[in-house]
Chain A
Amino acid sequence: MTDVLIVGAGPAGLSAAATCARHGLSVRVVDEFMKPGGRLLGQLHEEPDGTWWNGIEEARRLYEQAVGLGASVACGVSVYDAARGEEGWVVSTTEGILEAPVLLLATGAAETALPLPGWTIPGVMSIGAAQVMTNVHRVRVGERGVIIGVNILAVAIARELQLAGIHVDRMVLPPRNPVTQEAASPYHVMQSLLRVAHLAPSAFIRYGSRLVKSDPLLRLAVRCYPAGGVKMWRMPIHLRTAAVEILGTSKVEGVRLARVSPDGEPLPGTEHDIPADFVCIAGGLHPLAELAAVAGCPFAYLPELGGHVPLHNERMETPLAGLYVAGNITGIESAKVAMAQGAVAGLAIAEHLGRLRDRTALADAIAHVKRVRRSATIQFHPEIGRGRADVERMFQEQGISGK
């Protein structure tokens, strides 16, 4: 009999599995990808202190730890339904029905698309797909690429493609249309980039960004943004140029660009075409919470956390008895925060099932999540703390049913 079923073998799911197994619980983890590790598998970057974060190594460490403690981890298994049965959760998977009194959803995040003309042509992919092809499958995505969408995740992955010897020609904005919205606004994109400018490899960008603290200065910076872009790792990042169409018939052949006003409006007569054989669309991440929805969990809409998240408290409990969440399903943050949340979920589950002897461990783990969050080098949203406080307050107002 499985005590705990965990959906998702990423940083949150694996660290929760190890924590549960350490407390004597029988744990089963399923993941639809063919390898454990989740988004860790794609991550490779240099930390501000000069050390390297190698996600593949981290994933291996977490996997070996969980399995070494007795958890079973099955990859290549998709979960397509979760419902409350008489004795616990009944979970439908491509390997059959699994049942457990406790279900932890650690399904992570999904990428948001940026639709533009030509985005359905073969050779157009999400930036995360390019990352997985490069770092996991070791497949060259193309010879000359253009990234559409400017954000921190795209900059980090562009660097990984470069390290793999792939030419990323430039990074441009998506066109302004009813479904791209703020991602197409030079002003909004500049604002969000400035929050991470301290990570830039160029002193010019780091010090320049400190000068642009007030709104009028920010608007001035957008108006005066260099037409040739600002280079980061030799790759120009454009905030006043948008891709208005991806060109090609049976495969990507190029991108049509246009200069845009500070509001993102294309300037007539500035259209020009550049060659490309692949295009990455970088629209950011949102919590992947479809299983929580079919399970009947209430949600909260908190833009600070990346959109709709399942209602949960700081112990990672949802209002539904025996249903827990951890990692990016609860809000977009770094893998380190996800690992810390996984440990909290594991301890809360152990307590729920009467296996936690040291109650202070749970309080310590909750405090650790907050410490990791504060020390994160990348805040995906500057108001992440407010989003976390809001979801906690909403949870307390609603209370736990069926306990």
Chain B
Amino acid sequence: MDQGNIVICRCEEVTLKELIAAAETYRCSARELKLRTRAGMGCCGGRTCRRFIDMVARQATGEAPSHGIPLGYQPPVRPVAFGQLGGVIG
């Protein structure tokens, strides 16, 4: 099977092929790649795929990893119920 058909972001169903095509077209940062493809923007917050999005972006731009985190984290960093966010519980 073609490795390009691998699903990288399971929440948003983005394949390796789609990520590589976007990365080669725009030669962009991991963050831009995420925004263009929606990879890493699903309900899990990119827990598994964020490092792959970063790898694909770096391979297209040739940039070395930096000390800053390439894809920022936003709370909630765990799935939570709406009631919890609204302050109904606790």
Query: Which positions in A face B, CB cutoff 8 Å?
Result: 32, 78-81, 92-97, 110, 112-113, 115-120, 175, 177-179, 181, 244-245, 256, 286, 290-291, 293-294, 298-301, 307-308, 394
- Tell whether, in the assembled complex, residue A286 and residue B51 are in contact, meaning their CB atoms are under 8 Å apart: yes
Query: Which positions in B face A, CB cutoff 8 Å?
Result: 1-3, 5-8, 10, 16, 20, 47-48, 51-52, 55-56, 59, 65-69, 72-78, 80, 84, 89-90
Q: Using Cβ atoms and an 8 Å threshold, which residues of chain A touch B2?
A: 117
Partner of A294, one of B48, B51, B74: B74
- Tell whether, in the assembled complex, residue B69 and residue A308 are in contact, meaning their CB atoms are under 8 Å apart: yes
Q: Label chain B's interface by main secondary structure.
A: loop
7 smallest A-B Cβ distances: which pairs? A96-B90, A81-B75, A80-B76, A117-B1, A177-B3, A293-B73, A80-B78
Q: Min CB distance, A162 to chain B, in Å? A: 27
Residue of B nearest to A83 (CB): B75
- Tell whether, in the assembled complex, residue A97 and residue B3 are in contact, meaning their CB atoms are under 8 Å apart: no
| Alpha-carbon distance A394/B78, docked complex (angstroms) | 30
Q: Min CB distance, A234 to chain B, in Å? A: 31
- Tell whether, in the assembled complex, residue B56 and residue A179 are in contact, meaning their CB atoms are under 8 Å apart: yes
- Tell whether, in the assembled complex, residue B67 and residue A300 are in contact, meaning their CB atoms are under 8 Å apart: yes
Given contacts A78-B78, A80-B77, could you give 8 more A-B pairs where the C-beta distance is less than 8 Å? A81-B76, A116-B6, A175-B3, A178-B55, A178-B56, A290-B73, A299-B67, A301-B65
| Alpha-carbon distance A32/B6, docked complex (angstroms) | 30
Residue of B nearest to A247 (CB): B1
Partner of A299, one of B51, B69, B89: B69
Q: Min CB distance, A382 to chain B, in Å? A: 19
Q: Using Cβ atoms and an 8 Å threshold, which residues of chain A touch B47?
A: 110
| Alpha-carbon distance A355/B29, docked complex (angstroms) | 47
Residue of B nearest to A300 (CB): B67
| Alpha-carbon distance A190/B78, docked complex (angstroms) | 37
Q: Using Cβ atoms and an 8 Å threshold, which residues of chain A touch B7?
A: 115, 119-120
Residue of A nearest to B71 (CB): A293
Given A177-B16, A178-B56, A179-B55, A97 and B90 contact (CB-CB distance below 8 Å): yes
In the complex, 14 of the A-B residue pairs with CB atoms within 8 angstroms, ordered by the A residue number, are A32-B78, A78-B78, A81-B77, A94-B78, A95-B90, A113-B52, A115-B52, A116-B3, A179-B6, A179-B56, A290-B73, A301-B65, A301-B67, A308-B67
Given A97-B90, A293-B69, A92 and B75 contact (CB-CB distance below 8 Å): yes
| Alpha-carbon distance A307/B66, docked complex (angstroms) | 10
| Alpha-carbon distance A115/B8, docked complex (angstroms) | 7
